[in-house]
Homo-oligomer: A and B are copies of this chain.
């Protein structure tokens, strides 16, 4: 059919040893095998590479060129093998990770330096988008992994939960609930609730958490990032819900806003990680998931 890498190896061996039998020994085959292989190669190339002489093996002028090329090929093959070798240890290569916008700025940045030190060869490409679009990209292969809020319909994906992320109510300093230790979900029913735009899952989770429908809503404005919402609260436009993750990342800064937990707890979102069931790098993703779940507290 075609020439083989084995033939090229034998070829180089003969050139190195200038001797069929020695080359055969060094290649761990018998001389007849090597002899046949060289013959076959010469037949396929249509030219003689070696000039056999009972006394010595000479390389023809063409042979020299062929040898140069053969060594190039073998070198490239070596490169291919080491390329694969480098990939074997977990998280040692490219990882295209999609994250939802209400997680991205808060979860990953604080751990990037730790990630880098533990998986020095990892090249992380981050893509921030809303859950539905992340799923599309995961399905078509343009993302390897997504981090989003659960539950979310993820057909053919393997999903692990990374953590639970409590919601807090964020109030302006002079809000009437400012003295409360904690806030009951129903207490928010009359408040002006500030939400993200349509499509952000946090919007739905917040509505869930407050037991309200968007129809009977008192939503007065929609922001496109949590930072915007915080600014709006600071300007007395209403209240909002913030995930602990964002709070931990100091989203409030020096706004002086108040944070109240929900009474009794349990008002939260689950953060999960998902990948295609068929993805061969599953084990690596598990490693990464554990790393994220056990991240050092900030």
A160: min CB distance to chain B, Å: 19
- In residues 33-77 of chain A, which contact B (Cβ within 8 Å)? 45-48, 51-53, 56, 58-62, 65-66, 69-70, 72-73, 76-77
Residues of B within 8 A of A77 (CB): 2-3, 73
A53 near B5: Cβ-Cβ < 8 Å: no
Set B47, B61, B276: member contacting A95, Cβ < 8 A: B61
Tell whether A83 pairs with B66 under 8 Å between CB atoms, given A5-B2, A6-B2: yes
Bound complex: CA A56 to CA B142 (Å): 13
Judge whether B47 and A94 touch: CB under 8 Å: no
When the two chains form their complex, are residues B62 and A84 in contact, meaning their CB atoms are under 8 A apart?
Answer: yes
Closest to A7 in B: B5
In the bound complex, what is the Cα–Cα distance between A69 and B88 (angstroms)?
A: 17
A81 at the A/B interface (Cβ < 8 Å)? yes
B45 and A81 within 8 A (CB): yes
Q: Are A93 and B276 in contact (CB under 8 A)?
A: no
Interface-central residue, A1, A73, A93, by most chain B CB under 10 Å: A73
Select the stretch in A170-178, A235-243, A251-259, A278-286 that faces chain B: A278-286
Contacting pair A278 B51 (CB below 8 A):
yes
Given A61-B94, A76-B76, A141-B58: A87 and B47 interface contact (C-beta under 8 Å): yes
Q: Return the chain B residue nearest A60 by Cβ.
A: B280
The answer for the CA separation of A93 and B62 in the assembled complex, in Å, is 8
Q: How far is the CA of A144 from the CA of B96 in the complex (A)?
A: 58
**Residues of B with C-beta under 8 A to A144:** 61
Mostly, the A contact residues are: mixed
Kindly provide the distance from the CB of A29 to the nearest chain B CB, expressed in whole angstroms.
10
Instruction: Check A88/B53 contact, CB under 8 A, given A1-B6, A61-B96.
Output: no
Q: Is the CB of A51 within 8 A of B83?
A: no
Nearest B residue to A46 by beta-carbon distance? B88
| B46 near A85: Cβ-Cβ < 8 Å | yes
Residue numbers in B under 8 Å from A2 (CB-CB) = 5-6, 9, 77
- Quick check: B84 and A80 within 8 Å, CB to CB? no
Within the assembled complex, what's the spacing in Å between the Cα atoms of A77 and B46? 15
Q: A14 to chain B: closest CB distance in Å?
A: 14
Please report the C-alpha to C-alpha distance between residue A104 and residue B263 in the assembled complex, in whole angstroms. 107
A5 to nearest B CB, angstroms? 6
For residues 276 through 298 of chain A, which have their beta carbon under 8 Å from a beta carbon of chain B? Answer: 276, 278-281
10 contacting pairs across A/B (C-beta < 8 A)? A5-B5, A46-B84, A51-B141, A51-B279, A51-B280, A53-B156, A58-B141, A58-B276, A60-B279, A62-B84
Top 8 A-B pairs, shortest CB-CB distance: A48-B280, A45-B84, A58-B141, A61-B94, A69-B80, A62-B87, A73-B76, A53-B278
